Structure 1
Amino acid sequence: MCASMDRKAFLTLLGLGGVAVASRLSGFAAPLGVLAPGKPAPSDFHFVQLSDTHWGYHGPANPDAAGTLPRAIEAVNGLAHPPDFIVFTGDLTHDTDDPKERRARMARFKELVAGLAVKRRYFLPGEHDAGADQGEAFRELFGPTHYTFDHGGFHFIALDNVSAPGSKLGAAQLSWLAEDLARLDHGQPLVVFAHRPLFDLYPDWDWATLDGADALALLQPFRYVTVFYGHIHQQHHVMTGHIAHHAAASLIFPLPAPGSQPKRAPVPWDPAAPYRGLGLRDLDARAGSKARPAAEVPFTDLPLVQP
């Protein structure tokens, strides 16, 4: 792949027939001057979000389950402008009851993503990675399940709403989040990553976080908050007050719209349109943009690329 590949070529390659979606947020950064005195102003950068790779899956919903992640890696490496960092928002691997196989899948996933040219990579667990052992194997191979980092004038928060039994964050993590936020000015732009949605999207399908409302209450005083998550295997965009939530497509198989059928099940593979509904997200933060902050701006998808 040519190192100077542009975004249209990137979409074409990843789409494998016009089905992958890369997305951009205009005005994702908070406007210059909103930060507290002495704080660095936001700067231009972009990052890539990948989600729900489910390495180790075998089944009819994706006959090329072993091929999609390597193709995504190749596509990201071919971007003309490499992202500042890459974040994987959970379900790196497909679940298994065998602890040895769980670690083997994680090790193979880690080996594959080591081929990414961008070395700054962040990982969150999904319930397929962490539900069976409360995140033990994930921590062994990838480190903490929740953490923070700062980049380009933004404060990034990675939450773990999968390791604790019951689809929740838990009291200890909520206390940690409260302590982290207490030291920040309310004008500080925040980006939150999670696997499950923090709001009640469709609890009957486990598309919710039991104590997600407690986390959102802690985030509510901040003027610029955007949440990126996975889990639901499709793009979905909603506001809870002034907080914007954006779900990402999966790299393994799509799932149906919330509540659109009696049971949650993968959308059947279509040989006539392979890879339909799969994709990743490429996001810009533009400090000099005249657009409103991301928490107030609708998320805009680039059109699907046809073969």
Structure 2
Amino acid sequence: MSAQLDRRHFLRLAGVGVGAVFASGLSGCTAWATAPSRDFHFVQLSDTHWGYAGAANPEAKTTLARAVAEVNALPMPPDFIVFTGDLTHTTDDPQERRKRLREFKAIVADLKVQDIHFLPGEHDASLDQGAAFQEFFGPTHYSFDHKGVHFIALDNVSDPAARLGEAQLAWLAQDLSGLDKEAPIVVFTHRPLFDLAPQWDWATRDGSQVLAQLMPHAHVTVFYGHIHQEHHHQSAHIAHHAATSLIFPLPAPGSQPSRAPIPWDAAQPFRGLGWRDVQRHGAGDYALDQHGVKGA
């Protein structure tokens, strides 16, 4: 591990052990564990909220561009990049919504990676059931495979009631039906699939049904956004990892009466903002490398 990585918050996920908090490795499987190593890494960015204007981030018009530049400066380009929702800040005006989506898309076009995956957040999609998002980025839920890992993007935001809904649950069941139970699976979503803080809308109404479908699969990891902070949780063998945002941090779940943004600190600009590099090693160990947004 490089000295640069040592200085950052570095988290290895290497299977289940005594007292382990996370279970994202594949060390316990057979056929998949003996498969040839297929190392890769991807970058997760989340909650950019393009179009936000307010005291919680006076640098709102520059933060996304800073993150793009930092990702482009990685010594090894990621295999792909994923944005896990709330690309733009909410607006009741359909024309303004599309303007913000268009501007966001133009900014991230500067990323030096061709393979970019987008998920909507409720700020992008809940007021029009994802119609504008789909005009710019295509389907709100989908799956793809990369170097032996099956990736699933779920939409728990286009429904204003914070559900996937029966049609998408049926699609998920069909998508999973063709997989070996030992196959490594990574799920991307915006809201958490477990009840983190339902009073703050930090939950998915039918998330328990999603987890029930995923539970028979031995190696599942979930990456999500929405809560604007790093957070880690375990549902049996399924590990859940929340991402920091690129607009403003939010308080720890249930730590105060409301989820109001943590005030901007001019002495520590960009504190609590960032993105992550997810590295897969060998037969399936993951490492999360957290990057904070840098100042000028």
TM-score where L is the length of structure 2: 0.89
On the 8 A contact 1:42/1:152 being kept in 2, the answer is no
- Secondary structure (helix, strand or coil) at the match of 1:280 reads strand
Once the two structures are TM-superposed, the CA of residue 30 in structure 1 deviates from its matched residue by 2.5
On the 8 A contact 1:229/1:246 being kept in 2, the answer is yes
On the 8 A contact 1:131/1:163 being kept in 2, the answer is yes
Name the residue aligned to 1:82: 77
Once the two structures are TM-superposed, the CA of residue 226 in structure 1 deviates from its matched residue by 0.3
Residue type at the aligned position of 2:110:
G
Once the two structures are TM-superposed, the CA of residue 304 in structure 1 deviates from its matched residue by 7.3
Higher strand proportion: 2
On the 8 A contact 1:201/1:207 being kept in 2, the answer is yes
On the 8 A contact 1:52/1:90 being kept in 2, the answer is yes
Aligned length: 285
Correspondence 1:125-136 to 2 at 5 A: 125-136=120-131
The structure showing larger relative contact order (alpha-carbon pairs under 8 Å, at least 6 residues apart) is 1
Name the residue aligned to 2:223: 228
Q: What is the RMSD computed on CA atoms of the aligned residues?
A: 2.6
Q: Does 1:115 align with 2:110?
A: yes
Q: Structure 2: 5+ residue runs without aligned partners?
A: 15-23
Q: Does 1:252 align with 2:237?
A: no
Name the residue aligned to 2:18: none
Once the two structures are TM-superposed, the CA of residue 121 in structure 1 deviates from its matched residue by 0.2
Q: Does 1:103 align with 2:93?
A: no
CA distance change for structure 1 residues 65 and 241 in 2, over 3 Å: closer, same or farther? same
Partners of 2:163 and 2:271 in 1: CA distance: 31
Name the residue aligned to 1:30: 26
CA distance change for structure 1 residues 104 and 189 in 2, over 3 Å: closer, same or farther? same
On the 8 A contact 1:7/1:79 being kept in 2, the answer is no
- Secondary structure (helix, strand or coil) at the match of 1:192 reads strand
Partners of 2:200 and 2:143 in 1: CA distance: 29
TM-score where L is the length of structure 1: 0.86
Residue type at the aligned position of 1:142:
F
Once the two structures are TM-superposed, the CA of residue 36 in structure 1 deviates from its matched residue by 6.5
Correspondence 1:152-231 to 2 at 5 A: 152-231=147-226
On the 8 A contact 1:145/1:160 being kept in 2, the answer is yes
- Secondary structure (helix, strand or coil) at the match of 2:199 reads helix
Partners of 1:300 and 1:229 in 2: CA distance: 13
Residue type at the aligned position of 1:159:
L
Residue type at the aligned position of 1:214:
Q
On the 8 A contact 2:270/2:294 being kept in 1, the answer is no
Partners of 1:302 and 1:233 in 2: CA distance: 13
Partners of 2:291 and 2:120 in 1: CA distance: 30
Once the two structures are TM-superposed, the CA of residue 34 in structure 1 deviates from its matched residue by 3.3
Once the two structures are TM-superposed, the CA of residue 41 in structure 1 deviates from its matched residue by 4.8
